[in-house]
């Protein structure tokens, strides 16, 4: 049947989007394909249609149970024969699905990658090989990705027995390095690569430097102002913490029909908030990034980030929810230098220093040691904090440096863990740098994204509607502009005179030397950056982001050049400069951010002190650990992959009795709730 007829008949669509047709043809012809297109572009069709065209079963590997259930339901609603097998389903259901698979009664079988490690399962698949294999969310296979999972890494070996079916790998978030890694890891180096569709022509992107304490009022102003021209509503405001979502929502309620959304709220409230937003009863949602997955609301006019996002990939995904209807929409980022510090703090917590992993690796040996003994053995002069130890052990295990059995006894693994861990850690730290570069980057915002994702199919023209293309600060903030204070004026004079007296010819200025040469009297880093931005916006200087390769690493640096207007500027011109969107003086800002960091450090130190108490396990902790061990044995994975000790302690302490309450426990997300929620509650209730 011709592709277009199949499209209409099976999916009810009357035309292909973008290059769906090209991709479908390649896949139907049996070629391996890597497809990178943004969320919502219609990637699923690119395996579903060719799967039907090829006949037989398409095996779909996807990492998230919620996504699997959603996709299966959609296909079933179209009358297609789709089923799923994963740990959230009962044995009977799985058995029935296997039978249907073997009898050739399925078009699509969805599984999570770990299923291929379950003894007997690959053998079952081999009895009737799939005719197509789709690996969704394929960035999880890359050792650089933060979602990197060992089960994905083993995919290529495990899929070998199911070949010669073609493999199509799909993802929305892969930079060129990750793209290469995916095809390498999957063993499909000759795959046709389609990387496209990243340009959004109707989203105007703006970036403003604004202190956390002023973000609510900035949001109000943005939404109020845009309402006068064309409506800025409905809007999503993303905040970095649950607390911040509540605070901003509280302020915005006075002006708009507002609701708050984060993973700590009961599922029923979240569903309710989402439903009210979808039906137009709520105009503004203030949410953490937990909100938006699978949200199909076409008329969102504004997406505001009230804080620096953690990665460009995530950020692009989030702003992509604006203007799906094709009408004008805005994406506005409010950030300040202090946000970087918050991210650095999370980074140190989530990616422990390699030295700590090395210490643990050295302490491990061929004969298995209980986890706690290993921790004691691994410590040098200083004791390793339990939370950091658990994180480090998990990373070491993920990268093959240790083997951990379900009982959490640990034995030594292969020494090459260090290479992949370092890579992953560097990649993560670089992705934070990319966000900083983005916020400071003086060029077209949309072009920055296209370059970032390696979308070469695009002709690469500036967007014409972002803050840089339209010449600096937007109207939202012009009225908030203030003149520079005395310190800032002398800072500008200093920067200009240093550029005139020679550094200009040096051209290449590294991050550190930029500060020391242009900022000799040590303004705060945030204050200094603000001034550079003001000068760049006035076209007194140009800042370009550049890079070169050294020892296989890409070194990023900024090149700062004095332009004619800066060269001829006089002190009265400096007096006329305005800081377009910053609130408060540079001094106030630096001070505030320092205080915040000190405070957050104090809190975590206090927490650590509590965690390090060698207290005896309560009966709830004991029970949960017993249950966890049974689960871990059943699945053949280390116990901490089921639940970490920290989450067990939190569960024991807050003793939730409903699925909703369960979600309020710190460390419990929707996935865990879905997978083990009932069992955990049963476990806790048996104590009463």
Applying CB under 6 A, the residues found at the interface with ligand ADP are 13, 16-17, 20, 37, 39-45, 172
User: What torsion, rounded to 10 degrees, do the Cα atoms 544, 313, 32, 129 define?
Assistant: 160
Q: Are 363 and 374 in contact (CB under 8 A)?
A: yes
**Tokens coding 547:** 């890079």
Smallest separation, CB 41 to ligand ADP (Å) = 4
User: β-strands 578-579, 482-483: how paired?
Assistant: antiparallel
List, as one string, the DSSP characters of 437-453.
HHHH--S-HHHHHHHHH
Smallest separation, CB 40 to ligand ADP (Å) = 5
List, as one string, the DSSP characters of 265-297.
S-HHHHHHHHHHHHTTS--EEEE-TTTTTT---
Smallest separation, CB 201 to ligand ADP (Å) = 18
User: β-strands 409-412, 369-370: how paired?
Assistant: antiparallel
Q: Are 582 and 567 in contact (CB under 8 A)?
A: no
H-state helical runs in 294-353: 312-319, 337-350
Question: Of 16 and 640, which CB lies nearer to ligand ADP in the complex structure?
Answer: 16
Smallest separation, CB 21 to ligand ADP (Å) = 9
Smallest separation, CB 614 to ligand ADP (Å) = 48
| Neighbour count for residue 270 (Cβ, 10 Å) | 22
Q: Are 673 and 651 in contact (CB under 8 A)?
A: no
Question: Of 167 and 648, which CB lies nearer to ligand ADP in the complex structure?
Answer: 167
Q: What are the CA-CA distances from residue 104 to residues 11, 81, 129, 131 (Å)?
A: 21, 10, 10, 12
Q: Are 380 and 353 in contact (CB under 8 A)?
A: no
DSSP 114: G
Question: Of 23 and 620, which CB lies nearer to ligand ADP in the complex structure?
Answer: 23
Smallest separation, CB 170 to ligand ADP (Å) = 7
Smallest separation, CB 316 to ligand ADP (Å) = 13
Smallest separation, CB 319 to ligand ADP (Å) = 15
Nearest-angstrom CA–CA distance, 449 and 554:
18
Spatial CB neighbours of 483, under 8 Å, sequence gap ≥ 6:
575, 576, 577, 578, 579
Smallest separation, CB 45 to ligand ADP (Å) = 4
Total residues found in the chain within this entry: 688
């Amino acid at each position: 049947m011709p592709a277009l007829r199949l499209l209409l008949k099976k999916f009810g669509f009357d035309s292909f989007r973008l290059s769906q047709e090209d991709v479908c043809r390649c896949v139907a012809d049996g070629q391996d394909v890597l497809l990178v297109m943004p969320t919502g572009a219609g990637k699923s069709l690119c395996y579903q249609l060719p799967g039907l065209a090829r006949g037989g079963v398409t095996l779909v590997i996807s990492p998230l149970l919620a996504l699997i259930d959603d996709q299966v339901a959609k296909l079933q609603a179209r009358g297609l024969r789709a089923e799923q097998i994963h740990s959230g389903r009962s044995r009977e259901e799985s058995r029935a699905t296997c039978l249907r698979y073997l009898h050739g009664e399925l078009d699509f079988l969805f599984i999570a990658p770990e299923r291929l490690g379950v003894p007997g399962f690959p053998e079952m698949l081999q009895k009737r090989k799939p005719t197509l294999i789709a690996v969704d969310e394929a960035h999880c296979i890359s050792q650089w990705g933060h979602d990197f999972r060992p089960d994905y890494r083993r995919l290529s070996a495990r899929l070998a027995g199911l070949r010669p079916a073609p493999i199509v790998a799909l993802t929305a978030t892969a930079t060129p390095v990750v793209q290469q890694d995916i095809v390498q890891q999957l063993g499909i180096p000759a795959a046709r690569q389609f990387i496209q569709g990243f340009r959004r022509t109707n989203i105007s992107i703006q970036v403003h430097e604004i202190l956390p304490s002023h973000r609510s009022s900035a949001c109000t102003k943005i939404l109020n102002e845009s309402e006068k021209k064309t409506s800025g509503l409905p809007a999503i405001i993303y905040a970095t913490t649950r607390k911040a979502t509540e605070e901003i929502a509280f302020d915005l309620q006075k002006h708009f029909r507002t609701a708050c959304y984060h993973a700590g709220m009961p599922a029923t409230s979240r569903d309710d908030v989402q439903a009210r937003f979808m039906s137009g009863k709520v105009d503004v949602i203030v949410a953490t990034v937990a909100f938006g997955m699978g949200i199909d609301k076409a008329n969102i006019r504004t997406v505001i980030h009230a804080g620096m996002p953690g990665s460009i990939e995530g950020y692009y995904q989030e702003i992509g929810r604006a203007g799906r209807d094709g009408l004008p929409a805005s994406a506005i980022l409010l950030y300040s230098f202090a946000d970087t510090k918050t991210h650095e703090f999370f980074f140190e917590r989530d990616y422990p220093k390699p030295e700590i992993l090395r210490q643990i690796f050295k302490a491990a040996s061929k004969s298995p040691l209980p986890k706690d003994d290993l921790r004691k053995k691994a410590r040098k002069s200083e004791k390793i904090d339990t939370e950091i130890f658990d994180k480090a052990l998990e990373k070491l295990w993920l990268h093959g440096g240790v083997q951990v059995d379900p009982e959490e006894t640990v034995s030594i693994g292969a020494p090459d863990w260090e290479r992949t861990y370092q890579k992953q850690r560097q990649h993560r730290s670089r992705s934070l740098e990319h966000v900083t570069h983005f916020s400071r980057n003086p060029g077209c915002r949309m072009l920055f994204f296209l370059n970032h994702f390696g979308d070469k199919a695009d002709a690469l023209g500036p967007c014409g509607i972002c803050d840089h293309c339209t010449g600096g600060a937007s109207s939202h903030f012009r009225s908030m502009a203030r003149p520079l204070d005395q310190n800032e004026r002398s800072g500008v004079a200093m920067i200009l005179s240093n550029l005139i007296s020679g550094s200009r010819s040096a051209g290449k200025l590294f991050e550190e030397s930029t500060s020391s040469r242009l900022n000799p009297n040590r303004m705060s880093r945030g204050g200094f950056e603000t001034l550079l931005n003001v000068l760049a916006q006035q076209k007194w200087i140009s800042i370009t982001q550049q890079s070169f390769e050294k020892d296989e690493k890409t070194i990023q640096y900024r090149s700062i050049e004095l332009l004619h207007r800066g060269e001829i500027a006089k002190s009265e011109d400096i007096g006329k400069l305005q800081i377009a969107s910053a609130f408060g003086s540079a001094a106030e800002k630096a001070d505030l951010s320092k205080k915040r960091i000190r405070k957050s450090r104090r809190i975590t130190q206090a927490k650590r002190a509590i965690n390090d108490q060698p207290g005896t396990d309560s009966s709830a902790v004991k029970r949960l650990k017993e249950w966890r061990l049974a689960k871990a044995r059943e699945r053949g994975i280390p116990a901490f992959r089921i639940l970490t000790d920290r989450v067990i302690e939190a569960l024991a302490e807050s003793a939730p009795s409903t699925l909703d309450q369960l979600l309020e426990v710190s460390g419990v997300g929707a996935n865990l709730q879905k997978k083990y929620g009932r069992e955990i509650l049963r476990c806790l209730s048996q104590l009463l």
